[in-house]
Amino acid sequence: EDKVVQSPLSLVVHEGDTVTLNCSYEVTNFRSLLWYKQEKKAPTFLFMLTSSGIEKKSGRLSSILDKKELSSILNITATQTGDSAIYLCAAALGSGAGSYQLTFGKGTKLSVIP
């Protein structure tokens, strides 16, 4: 059974702290790993990672994939109250030419307090 596990499930930090969110996967036909941020409604896309060891950055957020360890981390530096959200990671699975199924973890609920 394909499985994506995120930790911690919830986290409370103060503004300015740095946080690291973890995602591990045990899946067949792994193609890529995706990170999403969910505030009130639909998840919004953050990063997609396909190659091990290559960091992706966007402002204060960065993420990296380790295919040997079957895991990924999402780092947020200098957190702000606007970073409060549920962070979801998903493994894209597939065979042949395409990657079809997207399996999500349970998410990490991040709360940033002033």
Token readout for 69 is 């360890």
Which amino acid makes up residue 87? Y
Question: Is 74 near another protein (CB under 8 A)?
Answer: no
**What is d(CA 22, CA 7) in angstroms, rounded to the nearest whole number?**
5
Of 19-27, 30-38, 63-71, 77-85: span binding another protein (CB under 8 A) = 30-38
Of 15-23, 27-35, 54-62, 68-76: span binding another protein (CB under 8 A) = 27-35
Among 11, 19, 73, 102, which residue interacts with another protein (rule: CB under 8 A)? 102
Rg (CA), the chain: 14
Smallest separation, CB 42 to another protein (Å)? 4
Question: Is 106 near another protein (CB under 8 A)?
Answer: yes
Q: Give the CA distances from residue 43 to residues 9, 40, 64, 65, in Å, rounded to whole numbers and listed in that order.
A: 17, 9, 20, 20
Among 6, 16, 62, 81, which residue interacts with another protein (rule: CB under 8 A)? 6
Closest CA to 111 of 15, 41, 37, 21: 15
The residues of the shown chain that bind another protein, judged by CB under 8 A, are 6, 9, 31-32, 34, 41-45, 48, 50, 88, 90, 92, 97-107
